Amino acid sequence: MIRLRRILRPVHRWTGLSVGLVIVLMALTGAALVLRKQLELPLDRDLLSAPACASRLPLDTLTANAQKAYPSGKLDYIRLIAAEADDARTPTAMVRFTDQMFVYLDPCTGAVLGLRNRYRGAFGVLEQLHRFRFMPNGNLVVGTSAIVFALVLVGGGLVLWWPGTWRGARRALALRAPRAGGAARHIGLHKSVGPYAALIVLISALTGLPQSFDWYRNGVYTLTGSAPPAHAPASLAHAPDAARLPMEAIWQKVQALVPQPREALLHYPSRADDAVDIYTIDRDAPHPNARSLIALDAYTGDTLKFTPYAASSAGHKLYFWTLSIHTGLVGGWIGQALLLFGALCVPLLAWTGLRSWLRRAERDPARLPRQVRVVRKATEAANVCTFELADPDGTALPAFAAGAHIDVQARDGLVRQYSLCNDPRETHRYLIGVLRTADSRGGSRALHDEVGEGDLLRIGEPRNHFPLAHAAEHSLLLAAGIGITPILCMAERLANTGAEFRLHYWARSRTHAAFVERIERAAFADRAQFHFSEGPAEQRGDLESLLAHPAAGTHLYVCGPTRFMDAALAAAQRAGWREENVHREYFSADLRHAADDAEFVVKLASSGKSYTVGKNTSALDVLAAHGIVLPRSCEQGVCGSCLTGVLDGSPDHRDRVLSAEERARNDRFTPCCSRAKSPLLVLDL
């Protein structure tokens, strides 16, 4: 079963993405056509009905008027529908020509009420779209799509949905309120609605197939042991100069066989020895397509064949039942409502399936959405390179705010985050600074050694876990090493807005400090202070004294290596800074393990599947081992790539991304490093 599902899942997904559009068009037009019975007459009242009268004109007069209105047409048939006893209006008589042109006539006066092609008018167009009659071999497209839909999307979808036991199936079928958001809402809705809609849409697809394929229609007869439909027998031998009976005389003969039918359709013989081929539908027929078949000699009116519906073959009955079921003419308003529900579920299923796939694709680190070119690579300081990135076509890049970072695919499968350090008002470029570290896990080394000017890189949209608090009265910006990148951007933004701030920048030496000249040339140079650890003691800076006087309106921003971060944040805590006034961004962190780390269970909200996370492994790795691949980058809880929604349970937050307030909400966690305080976490996946 697991192997089958592994094969079925991509087949189901890619079939939906490819054939889905045809299916959705068929479903939407089908949904509208289900209401044809109620809506068509009011919409086309003057064409489809006329004032009632005691007696209609002879069929031959009506036919002659139709032919006069459409002289180039070759007669195909005339259809009569009986009026209801107390109706003030009567259905019009309809003469069809072989090129699908219909002429509508007032049966009482013979007046031509209008001409219309079968595929014109609101419902004609809908039918044309539904049956793909706007293209050659449209019936094959429709029929093939319906088969693929039934087998792969409905059948395969049910296999993928099947929870394994009847008890599980009952639980899965229980209707629940939609979740607040995220991927689980889409896939959850897909899986909740799918089984309910499956039976209806399957019936709808299978009952529509006889319209597309003769082999399927013949199969219906073969399956029931019935003879396939035969052509009407020929008229009996007649003298060469004999004249056919008028159609009105034929009608009288029909009446003798089927008195007062609800509907009758009489074909005009196309060849000299053809019989008149007729079908009628009784007033008490079990469904609106329960056809009795009649063939009359065109010259004598003798009955050549008469098969009342009740006496017809099982194949004939099954075929016409499928026609009525497919068009919503069975089961009254309940049948129509079910069919409408099934048809409308199809676009919903297509949408929820597509959204969950897109969401997954968005989260796939290998699919960063934007391609940029490295237009400039420069050495900024010892071991620090800047990369200026621009759209290859010169298109403006998405706006960002100070403190934002982007994902950069350094090479296949290697995604790292880098803060943007150019002016946020610029849209023609992004500037990132990359420190080549001795303990590089591959990202900075790949960018330094393998990427040059002119190369193309894939990047993500800007994200910001380190935004400025714009209501601050004063800002204190502390950066160390490559931590200057977001802090420099913040300083420039604050300077541009005329805000109060001070910048302190620690580095080993001037040659190890990035952006020194830019800072010294900046309008805020007098508010920036360098601290070089290899320089004189008096300029090295003292965190304790710098942070000694917190004020309610002052916000602190800290970014740099872990040791610096820990020291600055500890000093701030000792000095009594309010947590909400302290903002931080880590570039790396040590994974924090506790001696009493215990295993816990993560459960996926969408599938209900549970996985145990052992003491020495991460939830991210456990999920990946079961094919649920989440974005990952730092795997240290500092980049936020793997942030995942939590719907139930209590996470043990060990990341450096979430603020205290965000942690308290317990609605997200970083599965790369965080664990659980409760035995179970239900994830929004």
Binding site for ligand FES (CB under 6 A): 632-635, 637-642, 655, 657, 670, 672
* CB nearer ligand FES, residue 63 or residue 674: 674
CB closer to ligand FES out of 265 and 604: 604
User: SS3 of 370, please?
Assistant: strand
Q: How far is the CB of 625 from ligand FES (least distance, A)?
A: 16
Per-residue buried b or exposed e for 499-511, using 16+ beta carbons within 10 Å of the residue's own CB: bebbbbbbbeeee
**CA distances to 142, 334, 340 from 35, in Å:** 21, 12, 8
Of 105 and 630, CB closest to ligand FES: 630
Q: Is the dihedral of CA 243, 249, 251, 257 positive or negative?
A: negative
Q: Which residue is nearest to ligand FES (CB)?
A: 672
The C-alpha atoms of residue 198 and residue 203 are separated, in whole angstroms, by: 8
Between 463 and 527, name the residue whose CB sits nearer to ligand FES. 463
Encoded amino acid at 500, one letter: E
Smallest distance, ligand FES to C-beta of residue 598, A: 21
Closest to ligand FES by CB, 342 vs 640, is: 640
Task: List the one residue out of 253, 256, 307 whose CA is nearest residue 276.
Answer: 253
Indicate the residue among 484 and 634 with the shorter CB distance to ligand FES. Answer: 634
CB of 657 to ligand FES, least distance (A): 6
Cβ at position 147, least distance to ligand FES in Å: 44
Structure tokens at 492: 């420039």
What does the longest C-alpha to C-alpha distance in the chain come to?
Answer: 128
Question: In terms of CB distance, is 544 or 590 closer to ligand FES?
Answer: 590
Give the tokens for residue 612. 């145990």
Q: CB of 576: closest distance to ligand FES in angstroms?
A: 29
Dist CA 388 CA 432 (whole Å): 7
Q: What does the alpha-carbon distance between residue 641 and residue 631 come to, in Å, rounded to a whole number?
A: 6
Task: Work out how close the CB of 646 gets to ligand FES at its nearest, in angstroms, rounded to a whole number.
Answer: 14
Nearer to ligand FES, 303 or 440 (CB): 440
Query: Contact, 620 vs 672, CB < 8 A?
Result: yes
- In what side-by-side order are the strands of the sheet with 680-683? 610-613, 600-604, 680-683, 644-648, 668-669
Residue 367 DSSP label: G
Q: Which of 601, 572, 598 is nearest to 584 (CA)?
A: 572
Using alpha carbons, select from 621, 367, 427, 402 the residue that is nearest to residue 490: 402
What is the closest distance, in whole angstroms, from the C-beta atom of residue 611 to ligand FES in the complex? 17
Q: How far is the CB of 641 from ligand FES (least distance, A)?
A: 4
| CB of 44 or CB of 407, closer to ligand FES | 407
Closest CA to 324 of 335, 340, 312, 338: 335
Residues 652, 663 contacting (CB under 8 angstroms): no
Burial 435-457 (b: 16+ CB within 10 A, else e): bbbeebeebbbbbbeebeeeeeb
Task: Report, in Å, the least distance between residue 145 CB and ligand FES.
Answer: 42
Residue with smaller CB distance to ligand FES, 106 or 585: 585
95 membership: H or E segment, kind and range:
strand 93-97
Instruction: Name the minimum Å distance from CB 202 to ligand FES.
Output: 43
Cβ contact 603:641 at 8 Å: no
